[in-house]
Each structure stands twice: as C-alpha cells, then as structure tokens.
Amino acid sequence: MAFGGFDKERSAAPMSDINMTPLIDVMLVLLVIFIITAPLLTHAIRLDLPKVAAGAAPQTPQTVTLSIDDAGRLYWDGKPLTFDALNARLQQAGKAAQPPELHLRAARATRYDVIAQVMGAAQQAGLDRIGFVTEPPSSAARPGAQAAPASPAGKQP
C-alpha cells in the first residue's frame, strides 16, 4: 500500500513513493485499445457518386508577375517601372475586390533589401498572397545527371 509497509520496526510514517503499477496498467490498456481501433478507422466506404455533365468552374485568381533584376530594377508583367510607380500599382491592385496573387521573380544576385522593400510595400497595399518563382536546376547542373548525347544535325531521334 502507499500508506505503509509490512515492517513495523521502521517508522510509522507514510511512504512517499508513487505507486506506478496502476499507471502502467492504464497505459497498456490504452495501447491495446488504440492498436485494435486504428485499423478500423482507415476503412473506406465505397460509394457510386452521381455523374454530372458540367464540371466545377475553377476559380483562377489574377496574377501579377513582378521581376527584379541584378541591379534592382523592377518590371511589372515585363514592363519596367520605378519604385514609386510600383507603390501606386500595388495600392491600386490591393483595392480590388479580389486582390491578385503576386509572383515575385528575383535574380540570384539581387540584394535582399530590395526584395524586402518590395514585399513590405505589397503587404502594406493589402497583397498578402506572394509567391517566389524559381527555376529548377538544369539536368546538366544536377549532380549525378548525365547530359543527353547530341544528335547529328538534321536527324531526328
């Protein structure tokens, strides 16, 4: 018992040790219950859903591509603009009923402070959906990848 022992010669003070046996029993019972019920939760019900002629209309959000080159020059959908004109366009886009997504394309050598200023201006304008556009590495640049052999001129593989 937790209140004493069988040795009467020792002091009659209660034991201060926690009896772990009931806690371990409860944990083992819970473990067995979870082992048994887990496979039952993954059971799927097969349903034959009705077929419809019209599909769901995808809602494509408007996107704006903002490019920044190595020198920090800004391009709005391919057209150059200044930082002040960028702020005006961001404010105009932020006031739209459904603000567009901003796709940010920055050159590898672009300074971080330019990117941070653009992101801060976009957030202040209400454009909170910002995505960074990157390019996957070429097959020749990936380690372990072999370049495809060049075919002779004029012949198709």
pTM for the complete prediction? 0.51
The percent of residues in the chain predicted with pLDDT above 70, rounded, is 69
How confident is the model over 4-54, as pLDDT tens digits?
Answer: 556 666 666 777 788 889 999 999 999 999 998 888 777 666 666 667 676
63-132 folds as Nucleotidyltransferase; domain 5 (3.30.420)
**Pairs from 153-157 (Cβ < 8 Å, separation ≥ 24):** none
Tell me the domain boundaries of the chain.
63-132
- Residue 5's alpha-carbon distances to 11, 20, 152, in angstroms, are 10, 16, 94
Instruction: Extract the runs of DSSP E, i.e. beta strands, from the chain.
Output: 63-68, 74-76, 79-81, 101-106, 130-132
